[in-house]
Amino acid sequence: MNLPIYLDNNATTPMDPRVLEAMLPYFNAKFGNAASRNHAFGWAAEEGVDYAREQVAQLIGANEKEIIFTSGATESDNLAIKGVFEMYKDKGNHIITCVTEHKAVLDACKHVEKLGGSVTYLPVKSDGLIDLTELEAAVTEKTILIAIMYGNNEIGVIQPVKEISAIAHKHGALFMTDATQAVGKIPVDVNADGIDLMAFSGHKMYGPKGVGALYVRRKNPRVKVTAQIDGGGHERGMRSGTLNVPGIVGLGKAAELCRLEMNEEAIRLSALRDKLQASLTVLEESYVNGNVEHRLPHVANISFKYVEGEGLMMAMKDLAVSSGSACTSASLEPSYVLKSLGLSDDLAHSSIRYGLGRFTTEEEVDYAIEQTKKAVNHLRDLSPLWEMFKEGIDLDTVEWAEH
């Protein structure tokens, strides 16, 4: 077992060696520009891109013509939201999204508001899921798009996408989903799920960084987005720029591996995750954040009350995890996702996200359990709040010298 142990697979995943192998020829031997139609170098690159497009389409049950390659999920989210708004703004200017979305979605929505759009940010319930009745009530005649993520990056909860898309379509709106955390981890099928646009990214599914895709439906209905990057008209005019051939080939290979292996991988990882969670919630005053039934198989977000997340991460120096603590963020605000579940600030500060992945072993999980327990106990020995809790003092009645 090598230290430190990587348990931050929601932030990024290591690349699968098989992906690297598939990419390598496209850095040198097959270096051509996929848009060069007149010579063998171009054809070789184009062939790689075409094949990757099929691999990606297959993973999500799409047609390869519906895949637009981008630089990652951030760009895909931007293209989907701004592109739909620009394309359909004569039909209506209203978009519905939710407060736990990734910043790429939230900030693209903010941008649309500046352009005259109107955006509803739905709250979530304490388990992190949106309320479908509230969603339907928010729809107006002007609603052109409902953008709700598939799986959440901090707590892993899976939104009821089938029901959401049904509501969107019933009211003539499009359904877009940021599926960056879900694609390649759980079965995602654009037709079964009723998805019109979907963003995802290579580096969250054991592929390379800097490459992703936007799925754009071509039939029932035919969806169009206004390009956000102008130029040579690549990707059916929706995304100009010379294609990142090695990256795209890598995304394709990553998609194929996920398609073939994700079912077994999900079973293995959810067993390990459940073991981790069960062992850690044995600790007093520890709480799992988010719905545990509708959740990605490889994630557990746990708050250890009365210890602070960054301090905890420092004590677990051999574990690479992440925390919703404010002390880890430049803004000094704890995670907005956790806060939107109604979590008090102190619980949000006390949270750790464990993200398991393809290369996580049981031995590593066992080690993580031991390290976490030791660290939590060490920090509770140092924590004035823990001492007060143990003395039976209600912390809500203490007058804090807030600063």
Partner 1 sequence: MAYSDKVIDHYTNPRNVGTLDKSQNSVGTGLVGAPECGDVMRLQIQVDSNNVITDAKFKTFGCGSAIASSSLATEWLKGKSIDDAMKIDNMDIVEELALPPVKIHCSVLAEDAIKAAINDYRVKNGLEAFEVAKSHH
Residues that bind ligand PLP (CB under 6 A): 72-74, 77, 102, 104, 149, 153, 178, 180-181, 201, 212
Rounded Cα distance, 400 and 403, in Å: 9
Task: Tell me, residue by residue from 250 to 289, as one string, x for binding to partner 1 by CB under 8 A and - for no binding.
Answer: ----------------------------------------
136 binds partner 1 (CB under 8 A): no
The Cα angle at residue 300 between residues 298 and 305, in degrees rounded to 5: 170
Partner residues linked to 147 by β-bridges: 176
Of 159-167, 233-241, 278-286, 320-328, which segment contacts partner 1 by CB under 8 A? 320-328
Say which of 98, 109, 258, 327 is annotated catalytic. Answer: 327
Least distance from ligand PLP to the Cβ atom of residue 338, Å? 15
Nearest residue to the partner ligand PLP, using Cβ: 72
Least distance from partner 1 to the Cβ atom of residue 320, Å? 14
| 3-class DSSP assignment, residue 198 | strand
Is the Cβ–Cβ distance between 347 and 354 less than 8 Å?
Answer: no
Least distance from ligand PLP to the Cβ atom of residue 9, Å? 11
Rounded Cα distance, 3 and 370, in Å: 14
Is the Cβ–Cβ distance between 215 and 190 less than 8 Å?
Answer: yes
Could you say which of 167, 197, 205, 307 contacts partner 1 (CB under 8 A)?
307
And the tokens for 164? 């959401």
Rounded Cα distance, 24 and 35, in Å: 20
Least distance from ligand PLP to the Cβ atom of residue 73, Å? 3
Q: Which does 384 bind (CB under 5 to 8 A by kind): partner 1, ligand PLP, none?
A: partner 1
Rounded Cα distance, 294 and 356, in Å: 17
140 vs 344, beta carbon nearer partner 1: 344
93 vs 159, beta carbon nearer ligand PLP: 159
Least distance from ligand PLP to the Cβ atom of residue 3, Å? 25
Is the Cβ–Cβ distance between 384 and 311 less than 8 Å?
Answer: no
The DSSP code for 202 is: G
377 binds partner 1 (CB under 8 A): no
327 belongs to the catalytic site: yes
Of 50-58, 153-161, 199-207, 304-312, which segment contacts partner 1 by CB under 8 A? 304-312
Rounded Cα distance, 33 and 26, in Å: 10
Is the Cβ–Cβ distance between 5 and 319 less than 8 Å?
Answer: yes
Rounded Cα distance, 183 and 297, in Å: 12
Q: Which residues are catalytic?
A: 327
Site residues (vs partner 1, CB under 8 A): 306-311, 314-315, 325-327, 330, 332, 334, 344-346, 349, 381-387, 395, 400-403
